[in-house]
Structures are given as C-alpha cells and as structure tokens.
Structure 1
Amino acid sequence: MAHSHHHHHSHGHNHDLKGRNLGISIFLNIIITAAQVIGGLVSGSLALLSDALHNFSDVLSLVISYVANWLSKKKASTNKTFGYKRAEIIAAFVNAATLMVVAVFLIIEAVKRFYNPEEIGSDLVIWLSVIAILGNGFSVLLIRKDADINMNMKSAYLHLLTDMMASIAVLIGGVLMKFYEIYWIDPLLTLLIALYLIYMGYDLLKESTKVLMLFTPKSIAVQEIVNVISEIKLIKNVHHVHIWQLNEEEIHLEAHIDFKEDIKLSEFDVILEQIEEHVYYEFGINHVNIQPEYGKCDSKKIIVQD
C-alpha cells in the first residue's frame, strides 16, 4: 500500500504564540470572574452572576484549549502514531458542549427571576461590566487571528466573544436599572445571552463532531475525486474510498485502485504522484494512501462498509 503526503507545517512559533495569548486570556478571565462573583453577590444582579458563571466557563475552556494546544505539539510515538493531533478538536467539542450547558442553566435562572424580580445595586453592576468588557475585549483581539484557522482557538474565541457581548448587555441593563429602575431587564438580558450561546455553540459542536466521527469534509465531493483519478491512463477502477479529516491541517484519502495492466512499481510511483498532485491542488487533500490492485476479486463499489 503506497502512502504519501504533502506537508503543511504548523510552525512551533505559531503554537508558542497561541499558547502565550491563551495564557494571558486565562489570567485576565480569572480576575474578571472573581470580581463578578463578589459584585453579583453584593449587588444581587443575576445578569452579573450569570456573566461570572460564563466567565468561569471561559477560564475552564481556555485552560482546555491551552492544554490541547500544548499536547498537539507532542511528537508521535509507536503507541500514539498520530501523536496528539486530535487534542484540539476534542477541546473544541468539549468547549462547544459547555457553551450549550451554560446556556441552558442561564435560561432556567432567567425564567425564575422573571417571576421573582429583585432590586439590584446598579452602580456595582455598571463598573464591573466595564472591567469585564475591557478584559474580554483585549482577549478577543489576542485570539481572533488564530480563530479563523483553528477549531480549538475558535471555541476559545467564541467563549470570550459571547462573554464580551454578555458584559455589554449587563452594562446596558445596569444603566437602565440605575436611571429607570427597569429591573426585569436583568433576566431578559440573561435570556438573550443564553440564546446567543446556543446559536454559536451548536455550529461548533456540529463541526467538531463531524471531524471526530471521521465524516468526509463538506467541501469535498467523493464522486468528483473518483472521476478525476479515473481519468488517469491505466486506471480501470477506483473503489473502497475513505476520506476523513484528522485535524484542521490534515485531510486523508485512502482508496483501492484497480489497474488495467500488471504494471511495475516504478510506473505505479509515477501514477501515484499524479494522483497526489490532483487531489492536493484540486481538493486540498494532503495525505494519500493507495492500495494498487490488478484483477483482484473484491467489491468495486466506491463506498464499501468495512
């Protein structure tokens, strides 16, 4: 079975920078969480306490992302042949799931508070939400660049972004409570924050689940790949195809190829190189594993359930 791949190196420097940015964000969020818990208890603001809870989930999610980022740098070994390349995908899955859990908890608390509104010390709410906006805003800027290309960093980014938005909502609520004594705004904002968390978290949960389940990336059409490979001279049939994503940077293709002639290994190598070029430049697949066959009696279906 011939195996080959085009390498996409994720440079150590980028990993170190991601790690440093996550470290700074963890430190800032610990401070914000502690301040909000104290402030929420003193002022009686549910929105502030729910924001603190979300901030605490941020701290946990950032720690998970930090550990996953560190693990993904570890080398492969005989009992871990892929290394820890899936660590960041698992972190993204866990963080997306926690976003959903936090959201459900917030909805339950908000509904309770709607029926039992309480007077809230708005000055403290205003000041603490301003601190949270600044802290989370800085963290969002630190992580934003990596969030576009890395699911793990995106999950951390989403936690921070939604938390910044929650803090802005809490600030608006604090101002309305201070000047207009509209106390029901507190649970209403909590509810809106929770619904937004579900909206954002679900998408990430779905994407990370697809990778963990070895689903074919949605950008890749299996039949198109089969057609492209089948056009190469001497190839009779392409079957038993598997395409999966290992992590953000690696897409693998595995297939059996039936040849029209009993070709030499050196001829197969030339054809393999053609296949690699086609699938890499047209479909972004950078790991190719081909099993050559000649007149073998097996299923010639494109998808075969092993």
Structure 2
Amino acid sequence: MSHSNGHNHKHHHHNDLRGRNLIISIFLNIAITVAQVVGGLISGSLSLLSDALHNFSDVLSLIISYIANKLTKKRASIKKTFGYKRAEILAAFINATTLIVIAVLLIVEAIERFQNPQAIESNLVIWLSLIAILGNGFSVLLLKKDSEANMNMKSAYLHLITDMMASVAVLIGGLLMKYFQMFWVDSFLTFLIALYLVWMGYDLLKNSIKVLMLFTPDSIPIQKIVDEINMFEAIKNVHHVHVWQLNEEEIHLEAHIDFNNNITLSEFDIILHEIEDLVFNKYDINHVNIQPEFGKDDAKEVIVQD
C-alpha cells in the first residue's frame, strides 16, 4: 500500500508572461541575426559572423524554450502520466549542448583566421554590434526574472546574456580595427567569446543531466532525512529510499517504512502527514510516496539497487 500527498505541490506558473517575452525575444534575435550575417559577409568580419551564429543559436534556443514552455501546460494522460513536466529540463539540456558545439566550431575557425588575418570594414562592425547590444539587452531584461527560478528560462537567458557580452567584445574590436588597424583582434575576440560559451554551457549541461538522470538534488541530505524519520516512535526502519527532481517545481521522495506494530490505515495517515510536513518545510520536498510495511522480509538498506 502506498500513499502520496496532494496538498504540498508548489506552483509558480507565469507561463503566459514567459511565452510573450520569449516570442518578443525570438523576433528580436531573428532581426539581429539577419543583419549580422549580411554585415559580416560584406565587412569580412569573422567575429561579427560568429556573433551572428551565436544569435542564430539564440533563436533556436528561444524557440525550443517556447515550445517546452507550452508543452508543460499539457495535461497528464494514461500514456503520459507525468504529462510534459520534463520538457523544460530537456530544452535546457539541448540549449546547453548547442552552446558548447557552437563554441568548439568558433574556436577552430578563430585559430585558422588568426593565422591569416584579413582587412575588415570596421564601420559596419561597429554599428551592427551596437544594434545587437541593444536588442539582446532588451531580451535579457525581459527574461531575467523568470531565469532565477526556472532552468529552461535560465538556459535561454544565458544564451542572450553571453551574446550581449559577445557583441560588446565585437564593438571593442571594431573600434580597435578602425582606429589602430588591429585586424588580428577580430580572431582573438572570437576565441574569447567561444571559451566563454563553453564555460557557461558546461554548468547548465551538468545540472540538466543531473535532473534527467534522476540524481538526488545537491540540496537534499538523504541520510539526515532518514535519521529524522526514524526518530518517529512508531517507525522501526526507513529503507529503499529514492529522491529525485522531476522538474523545476517538484522534488519527489519515495521510501519503504517498516513499522513496529501492525497499525491501522488511519494511524498511518496521521504519521504520513507528519512526514510530509517535515520534508516539505525543511527540504522543499513536495511529493511523498510511502510504502508502509510490517515484518516484511526485504532489504533494509537506505539505498537498495532495484
């Protein structure tokens, strides 16, 4: 017999506002990308083209984030008992992966161009980088609030903020090329932009993989929780424990509990609610599934290999 709570679910949905902000950011970045591709080809600037490529990745990441945001609204069904609650985590994983792949391509291209620097039309680079800074800056402001509490929105936000910083670097490079003819700086800045993308993407990739692999969240001390539940007078042993993060808003705890006596269902319900309150108030675990046992012959270790 298992029992799970239905009163401790936390919901912080601002999906409509998120969707609107994402749409605005998508169209802004499409315009910036087109302008930078045309400008990069005309001027011969690799850093401008690399910024355009990064902006294009922004467009893709924002579209993925928008689709994931919409999917999370879909209701659960017989075939999809959790619905699409993990869509945003999957989007964060895809976005982080694309960041790193694009960065590696840019590093290769920057090294090749560094060996053969070319003259560049710096005026076009300066004006287009200014436009990109303004456009990405506005998008960053739109997504900042939601990025603080949502991994999917954070992935989109990171794409945008890194691109804004890259555009600032391209602007500086354009000024150096215009006034000091330092054309090698174009490749150097491309290399730095790429390294920054790897650094930003790796952390997000690592966190999204942890969630997808059902790893215990870093903030959850399983042994301490087990010790606290074991202190309940009626409980003999807590074992076969699983804790995982389903999405941004749900942390699940599943465990078997061996009781000292053959208690009634109503007595179990009272203890269950006490456990729910304990783990919710102290550890933000908002979905509890307990299998009560009495004298059952099974493995009693905290972690049992299924």
5 Å-filtered alignment, 1:177-216, equals 177-216=177-216
Could you tell me which amino acid in structure 2 is paired with residue 146 of structure 1? D
Residue deviations 1:177-229, cap 9 Å, x none? 00000001001000100000100100000000000000000001110010111
State the alpha-carbon separation in 2 of the partners of residues 111 and 41 from structure 1. 19
Paired residue type of 1:292 = P
Q: Distance in 2 between matches of 1:92 and 1:53?
A: 19
What CA distance in whole angstroms lies between the structure 2 residues aligned with 1:236 and 1:246? 29
Amino acid in structure 1 at the alignment position of 2:10: H
Deviation at 1:10, TM superposition (A): 3.1
- 1:44-98 alpha-carbon deviations (Å, 9 max, x no partner): 0000000000000000000000000000111111111101000000000000000
Corresponding position: 1:4 with 2:5: yes
Residues 1:60 and 2:50 aligned together = no
1:17 counterpart = 2:17: yes
User: Sequence identity, in percent?
Assistant: 70
Q: Which residue of 2 aligns with 1:146?
A: 146
Query: How is 1:65-76 mapped onto 2 (pairs within 5 angstroms)?
Result: 65-76=65-76
SS of structure 1 residue aligned to 2:5: strand
The code of the aligned residue for 1:3 comes to S
Classify the secondary structure of the residue corresponding to 2:57: helix
| Aligned mates of 1:187, 1:219 — CA distance in 2 | 42
For residue 248 of structure 1, report the CA deviation from its aligned partner: 0.6
Unpaired runs of 5+ residues, structure 1, are: none
Matches of 1:46 and 1:128, distance apart in 2: 13
- Does residue 247 in structure 1 map to residue 263 in structure 2? no
**Paired residue type of 1:79:** K
Partner of 1:112: 112
TM-superposed deviation, 1:139: 0.1
Q: Structure 2 regions of 5+ residues with no counterpart? A: none
| Offset at residue 151 of structure 1 (A) | 0.3
Cα distance in 2 for partners of 1:234, 1:139 equals 55
Q: Return the letter of the residue paired with 1:156.
A: A
- Aligned residue number for residue 99 of structure 2: 99
- Report the AA paired with residue 27 of structure 1: F
Q: Aligned residue for 2:172?
A: 172
- Tell me, yes or no, if structure 1 residue 32 matches structure 2 residue 47: no
- How far, CA to CA, are the matches of 2:33 and 2:79 in structure 1? 40
Structure 1 counterpart of 2:115, which letter? Answer: Y
Does structure 1 residue 125 correspond to structure 2 residue 125?
yes
- Write the distance in 1 (CA, Å) between the matches of 2:83 and 2:178: 55
Which amino acid is 1:213 matched to? M
1:226-250 per-position Cα deviation (integer Å, ceiling 9, x unaligned) = 0111111110000000000000100
Q: 2:81 aligned with 1:81, yes or no? A: yes
Query: What stretches of structure 1 move > 3 A for 4+ residues in a row?
Result: none
Distance in 2, matches of 1:77 and 1:250, equals 18
SS at the partner of 2:144?
A: helix
Equivalences for residues 152-301 of structure 1 within 5 A = 152-301=152-301
Q: Amino acid of the residue matched to residue 215 of structure 2?
A: F
CA distance in 1, matches of 2:232, 2:83: 34
> What are the superposed Cα offsets for residues 127-149 of structure 1, whole Å, 9 maximum, x if unpaired?
00000000000000000001110
Residues 258-280 of structure 1 show CA distances to partners (whole Å, capped at 9, x for unaligned) of 00000000000000000000000
CA offset digits 1:7-39 (Å, max 9, x no partner): 11233xx10000000000000000000000000
Three-state SS of the structure 1 residue aligned to 2:186 is helix
- Paired with 1:238 and 1:55, the residues of 2 have a C-alpha distance of 51
Distance 1:120 1:165 in 2: 21
- Matches of 2:143 and 2:71 in 1, distance apart? 18
In the superposition, the TM-score normalised over structure 1's length comes to 0.99
Report how many residues are paired. Answer: 304
Question: Match for residue 303 of structure 2?
Answer: 303
